[in-house]
Amino acid sequence: MSTPVAPVGEAAPGRRADLARLSLNTATTKHLTLAQAAAAAADAGLSSIGVWRDRVQEVGADVAATVVADHGLRVSSLCRGGFLTTADDDAARAALDDNRLAVREAAMLGTRELVLVVGGLPAASAPGGAALPYPALPHPTGAPAADGPDDPARDVVATRQRVADRIAALAPYAAEHGVRLVLEPLHPMFAADRAVVSTLGQALDLAAPFDPAVVGVVVDTYHVWWDPDLARQIARAGAEGRLAGYQVCDWVLPLAADPLHSRGHVGDGYVDFATITRWVRDAGYTGDVEVEIFHEDVWAAPPGRTLATMAERHVRHVLPHL
C-alpha cells in the first residue's frame, strides 16, 4: 500500500452527528484508492464506508481492514459478490469459489453485509458482466421446439432457479463466517446482462428459505423506485428482518449512453426520497445510508466536492425522513 495511513483522530478530525448514518460507497469515487476514499469520507465527517472488492483486493483484505479502521470508519457493506447464473459447470464452480472468497473478505473487513448482484442471462453475461453487442447474438439453428424455451441461454425462468440453487450452496458458508448474503434487485433494464432479480419482492422470495441473518436484501433507490409494490415489499423486508442496506442515488434523464453510468446525486432526478426513506424508516431500518453513484460527471469531480454534495443532499432529502 503506497498511501500512508494516518492515526485515528488525525485523518478524522470530527464526525458530524447529522451524517452519522451517511456512508460513502467507493463506487462513487471510482478513481480513488481505498485509502484515498477512506480519507475523503473521514474528512467529510462520515462514520462509514461501503467498499468494492476491486479496491479491497488491490491492498488485500487484511490491510484494507486496517486502512478503514485507521480512519475511524466502519464498513457498511462489501460490494459485490454474485454473478451466479452461468449454465456451465466449471464456470459455476469458479463463481461459487469467488463468492466464498468474498464472504471471507467481508468477515475480515468486519462487515456483516455482502451485496450480491446475481448475474444475467447466460446469453448476455460475459466475465465482468459485459453484454454481447447487438446484433451478434446467436440463435440456435434447427426446428423450433414446441415445448421448450427458444434457447436455454435466454431462459429466464431456469436462470432464476440456478440463482436459488447457488444461494443455497453458499448460505452455510456465509453463516459460518457471520456474513449475510444481501440480494440486490437491479433495475429491469439490467435483467438481460446483470441481474435476473429485478424486484424487491422477488429478492425476498429468493431469501425466504433462509435465516434472515444469512440471506437479506438491499434497497437501492435507483433500481426499485418505480416499483408499484415497493411500499409493501419494504415493509415486508423489515418485518422479516432482512433489510440489510439502503443505497441512494437518483434517476436522471436522459439515460447515459451506458445506462449503468446514468445515476445522479440525490435530488438531481425523479426519485421521491422523502417517501421511500420513510418507508425504509417505518420498516425499522436503523443502518447506514450508502451513496453509490455511477456517473462520469461525478467521477470527474473533485472528491471533496462529491462528498460535500453527498452531505448536503443527505441533510436535505434523506435525513428529515430517516
The yes or no reply on residue 150 touching a copy of itself (CB under 8 A) is yes
Q: Return the residues of window 74-133 that contact a copy of itself according to CB under 8 A.
A: 121, 123-124, 131-133
Q: Return the residues of window 192-221 that contact a copy of itself according to CB under 8 A.
A: 192-193, 196-199, 201-202, 205
The rounded distance, in Å, linking the Cα atoms of 197 and 207 is 11
Stretch that binds a copy of itself, among 13-21, 34-42, 83-91, 183-191 (CB under 8 A): 183-191
Minimum distance of a copy of itself from residue 193's CB (angstroms): 6
The yes or no reply on residue 149 touching a copy of itself (CB under 8 A) is yes
- What cell does 180 get? 449475510
Using CB under 8 A, which of 4, 127, 128, 144 touches a copy of itself? 144
The angle that helices 273-282 and 230-239 make with each other, rounded to 10 degrees, is 30
The rounded distance, in Å, linking the Cα atoms of 37 and 307 is 10
**Helix boundaries (H) for the chain:** 34-43, 53-59, 61-70, 89-109, 156-176, 200-207, 221-224, 230-239, 273-282, 296-300, 303-313
The yes or no reply on residue 269 touching a copy of itself (CB under 8 A) is yes
Minimum distance of a copy of itself from residue 277's CB (angstroms): 9
Nearer to a copy of itself, 173 or 299 (CB): 299
Q: 182 vs 42, 58, 158, 168, CA distance in Å?
A: 26, 23, 21, 13
The rounded distance, in Å, linking the Cα atoms of 114 and 105 is 9
- Helix or strand run (H / E) with residue 214: none
Stretch that binds a copy of itself, among 57-65, 103-111, 210-218, 314-322 (CB under 8 A): 314-322
Q: What is the CA radius of gyration of the chain?
A: 19
Using CB under 8 A, which of 156, 169, 213, 235 touches a copy of itself? 156
Minimum distance of a copy of itself from residue 233's CB (angstroms): 12
Nearer to a copy of itself, 76 or 198 (CB): 198
Nearest in space to 78 (alpha carbons), one of 47, 46, 44, 101: 101
- Which residues would be at the binding site for a copy of itself (CB under 8 A)? 121, 123-124, 131-135, 137, 139, 144-151, 154-157, 160, 187-189, 191-193, 196-199, 201-202, 205, 225-229, 231, 251-255, 257-259, 264, 267-275, 278, 316-317, 320-321
